[in-house]
Amino acid sequence: MILEFLDFVKMRAQGLFIVGDLFDFWFEYRHAVPNRHFAVLAKLHEIRKRGVEIDYLAGNHDMWLGSFLQHEVGLNIHHEAITRDLFGLKCHITHGDGTARDDVGYRILKRIMKHPVNVFLYRLLSPDIGVPFARRMSQTSRTLKDSGKHWDRQYREYAVSKLAEGFDVVVMGHTHRPKIESIDGKVLVNLGDWLQHFTFCEINERGPVLKNWPPKGQTFERRAS
């Protein structure tokens, strides 16, 4: 399904923002990358060859994005939130992990996991060991993860603070629950996921709209109200 969507993007989109966690796990060794993602990487490369810019924001499952995706596939890699002006709208785009006020433990853990020494030590493992092990742990974390609904209020508070700074649209992921909401005439979008909801946000001259893929069958198209 994701490959058909990327074909749609290749033919129709002016740009693509991947707001984290496209891969259940991503870690680059110096001379090896996870081979199970070859088809998706090839599609992304095709999109770039057509001149469509792709901005990839690292999520909590793929925080180790590296030079392969940038130099070989052609993605613009971001490890922090970004700002873009799209169709006259000032947009704040972030994966959202660690933005909840009380999520201090995760912010500390993220620093530890991204520390160069720890990345170096993990690379000492053979890819045949390191990749399957990390993928298994990642899948386990999804299974055991609390629904996270108690964090929703704090994620929304973060978005409201950004809208108060002057942004017209805040786009977030991370919670995996699709939502679009009007706040004082501005818009908060939570992208949902491609595990259950298959949702994406399209921004055009009419503003942001949350849609599902494929467009036929189940209908899900929602604008902020």
DSSP-based three-state secondary structure for 103:
coil
Q: Which of 176, 206, 207, 203 is nearest to 192 (CA)?
A: 176
Instruction: Please tell me the distance from the alpha carbon of residue 27 to that of residue 177, in angstroms, as a whole number.
Output: 26
Residue 37 DSSP symbol: G
Radius of gyration of the chain (CA): 18
DSSP string over 186-223: EEEEE---TTTT-EEEEEETTEEEEEESSSSSS--EEE
Q: Which is more confidently placed, 35 or 76?
A: 76
Q: Enter the tokens of residue 43.
A: 């599609």
Question: What integer is the mean pLDDT of 159-179?
Answer: 92
Residues 6+ apart with CB under 8 A from 203: 86, 87, 89, 91, 169, 209
Return the pLDDT at 59: 84
Confidence tier at 216 by pLDDT (50, 70, 90): low
Confidence (pLDDT) at 144: 42
Distances (CA, A) of 109 to 113, 131, 150: 6, 20, 20
Q: Are 152 and 175 in contact (CB under 8 A)?
A: yes
Mean pLDDT of the chain: 84
Q: What is the pTM of this model?
A: 0.82
User: Rounded distance, CA 50 to CA 41, Å?
Assistant: 15
CA pair distance 161, 87, nearest whole angstrom: 22
CATH at residue 22: 3.60.21
Q: Which domain holds residue 115?
A: 2-223
Report the pLDDT value the prediction gives residue 143, as an integer from 0 to 100: 46
Number of domains in the chain: 1
| Residue 225 pLDDT | 64
pLDDT attached to residue 219: 53
